[in-house]
């Protein structure tokens, strides 16, 4: 059993971009039920199927499995709720952690958030100066919520 423990933040400025190289992600949702979220994602030439449980604080169960790219693309086009999430993810090492900065495209253009995964809910981490307001508890910033209420409609 896997547990995801992460915190999410807005960004103060763009200095995180210095030297950053991103990778395009496309993802869609087969289920956005609050008890269980089922996501399909493509990254490069690999597809993934991910199941996430209900959040309890900043923790929740998460199971992720690689699947054939053709299967993932087919699910994105024919089975997933729309719109598809399109974003570029940048992995930014800082201190002993890696921040994942997601820059959204399409209907969520203009939204940029950073996440840091932790080993425990009370684990500390160094905060880069570009890290802004924490939005971990604001459900509007969940990727699954962005298909129902895209950033462009806020």
- Beta strands per DSSP E along the chain: 3-11, 22-31, 36-43, 46-53, 59-67, 81-94, 97-104, 112-117, 131-134
CA dihedral 4, 7, 14, 46 (to 10 degrees): 10
Joined together, the tokens standing for residue 23 give 């990778």
Residue numbers annotated as active site: 29
Among 9, 45, 28, 41, residue whose Cα is nearest residue 147: 28
Q: Cite the DSSP H helix spans in 69-137.
A: 69-78
């Amino acid at each position: 059993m896997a547990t995801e423990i992460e915190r999410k933040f807005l960004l103060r400025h763009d200095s995180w971009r210095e030297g950053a190289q991103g990778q395009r992600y496309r993802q869609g949702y087969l289920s956005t039920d609050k008890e269980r979220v089922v996501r399909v994602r493509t990254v490069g030439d690999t597809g993934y199927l991910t199941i996430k449980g209900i959040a309890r604080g900043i923790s929740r169960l998460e199971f992720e499995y690689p699947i054939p790219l053709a299967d993932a693309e087919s699910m994105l086009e024919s089975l997933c709720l729309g719109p598809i999430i399109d974003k570029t993810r940048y992995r930014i090492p800082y201190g002993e952690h890696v921040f994942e900065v997601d820059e959204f495209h399409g209907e969520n253009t203009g939204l940029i958030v950073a996440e840091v995964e932790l080993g425990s809910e009370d684990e500390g981490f160094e905060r880069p100066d570009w890290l802004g307001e924490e939005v971990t508890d604001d459900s509007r910033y969940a990727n699954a919520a962005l298909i129902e209420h895209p950033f462009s409609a806020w």
